[in-house]
Amino acid sequence: MTKTPLVLRVNGRDITVTPGTTVAAALALSGLTATRTSVNGEPRSAVCGMGICQECRVHVDGRVRLGCQTLCAPGMVVESMP
Protein backbone atom coordinates (compact mmCIF):
# COMPACT_ATOMS: atom_id res chain seq x y z
CA MET A 1 0.00 0.00 0.00
CA THR A 2 1.42 3.38 -0.97
CA LYS A 3 1.74 5.83 1.88
CA THR A 4 1.64 8.98 -0.24
CA PRO A 5 -0.96 11.20 1.45
CA LEU A 6 -4.15 11.96 -0.43
CA VAL A 7 -6.42 15.00 -0.36
CA LEU A 8 -10.21 14.95 -0.13
CA ARG A 9 -12.79 17.62 0.52
CA VAL A 10 -14.80 17.47 3.77
CA ASN A 11 -17.60 20.04 4.14
CA GLY A 12 -15.81 22.35 1.71
CA ARG A 13 -12.38 22.01 3.33
CA ASP A 14 -9.39 20.13 1.94
CA ILE A 15 -8.16 17.40 4.30
CA THR A 16 -4.94 15.42 3.83
CA VAL A 17 -5.01 11.80 5.04
CA THR A 18 -2.96 8.59 4.83
CA PRO A 19 -4.29 5.99 2.35
CA GLY A 20 -6.41 3.44 4.24
CA THR A 21 -8.08 6.17 6.31
CA THR A 22 -11.86 5.88 6.55
CA VAL A 23 -14.26 8.74 5.84
CA ALA A 24 -15.37 8.49 9.50
CA ALA A 25 -11.79 9.27 10.55
CA ALA A 26 -11.48 12.06 7.97
CA LEU A 27 -14.59 13.73 9.43
CA ALA A 28 -12.94 13.72 12.87
CA LEU A 29 -9.64 14.93 11.39
CA SER A 30 -11.51 17.87 9.86
CA GLY A 31 -12.50 18.89 13.39
CA LEU A 32 -16.09 17.68 13.21
CA THR A 33 -17.51 16.20 16.43
CA ALA A 34 -20.87 15.11 15.02
CA THR A 35 -21.65 13.39 11.72
CA ARG A 36 -25.42 13.90 11.67
CA THR A 37 -28.36 15.34 13.62
CA SER A 38 -30.94 12.93 15.05
CA VAL A 39 -34.71 13.23 14.51
CA ASN A 40 -34.95 15.13 17.82
CA GLY A 41 -32.09 17.43 16.87
CA GLU A 42 -29.25 15.81 18.83
CA PRO A 43 -25.71 15.60 17.44
CA ARG A 44 -24.49 12.06 16.73
CA SER A 45 -21.23 10.41 15.72
CA ALA A 46 -19.87 6.99 14.73
CA VAL A 47 -20.67 4.29 17.28
CA CYS A 48 -20.20 0.74 16.02
CA GLY A 49 -17.35 1.29 13.55
CA MET A 50 -18.53 -1.68 11.49
CA GLY A 51 -21.51 -0.70 9.37
CA ILE A 52 -24.30 -1.62 11.80
CA CYS A 53 -25.49 1.54 13.58
CA GLN A 54 -25.66 3.90 10.55
CA GLU A 55 -24.79 6.92 12.74
CA CYS A 56 -21.81 7.89 10.53
CA ARG A 57 -23.80 8.09 7.30
CA VAL A 58 -22.74 11.07 5.18
CA HIS A 59 -22.85 12.14 1.55
CA VAL A 60 -19.84 10.84 -0.36
CA ASP A 61 -19.67 12.16 -3.93
CA GLY A 62 -23.37 12.88 -3.66
CA ARG A 63 -24.42 9.45 -2.44
CA VAL A 64 -25.28 8.36 1.10
CA ARG A 65 -22.48 6.12 2.39
CA LEU A 66 -21.31 4.92 5.78
CA GLY A 67 -18.20 6.81 6.87
CA CYS A 68 -16.80 3.81 8.73
CA GLN A 69 -16.97 1.51 5.69
CA THR A 70 -15.79 3.96 3.06
CA LEU A 71 -12.11 4.59 2.40
CA CYS A 72 -10.94 8.10 1.53
CA ALA A 73 -9.97 8.55 -2.11
CA PRO A 74 -8.21 11.46 -3.87
CA GLY A 75 -10.66 14.20 -4.80
CA MET A 76 -13.55 12.62 -2.88
CA VAL A 77 -16.23 15.10 -1.78
CA VAL A 78 -17.72 14.40 1.66
CA GLU A 79 -20.57 16.35 3.21
CA SER A 80 -21.96 15.54 6.64
CA MET A 81 -25.72 15.32 7.20
CA PRO A 82 -27.24 18.61 8.40
Partner 1 sequence: MSASIKSAPLVATLDSCEVLIVGAGPAGLSAAKAAASGGARVIVLDDNPAEGGQIWRRGAHADLPASAIALQQAVRACDAIRIVNSAKVVGILDAQTLLVETPEGALKVRWQKLIVCTGARERLLPFPGWTLPGVSGAGGLQALIKGGMPVQGQRVVVAGSGPLLFAVAATARKAGAKVLMVAEQASLARLTAFARKLPLWPSKLLQAVQLRDASYRTSSVVWSVQGQGRVQQVTLKQGNRMTTLECDRVAVGYGLVPNTGLAEALGCTLHLQDGVSAVTVNTQQQTTVPHIYAAGECTGVGGCERAQAQGSIAGYCAIGELGKARKQEKDRAYWSAFAVHANSAFVLDEELKSLPDAATLVCRCEDVSHGALLGHTNWTEAKIHTRCGMGACQGKVCGTAAQFLYGWQMPEARLPFTPARVGTLACAGGAPPDTNRVEP
Among candidate residues 73, 72, 56, the one with its CA nearest the CA of residue 64: 56
Q: Which is nearer to partner 1, 14 or 39 (CB)?
A: 39
Judge whether 59 and 67 are in contact, CB under 8 Å.
Answer: no
Q: Which is nearer to partner 1, 7 or 52 (CB)?
A: 52
CB of 6 to partner 1, least distance (A): 11
Helix %, strand %, coil % of the chain (to 5): 10, 35, 55
Binding site for partner 1 (CB under 8 A): 17-22, 24-26, 28-29, 33-35, 38-40, 42-55, 57, 59, 61-64, 68-71, 77, 79
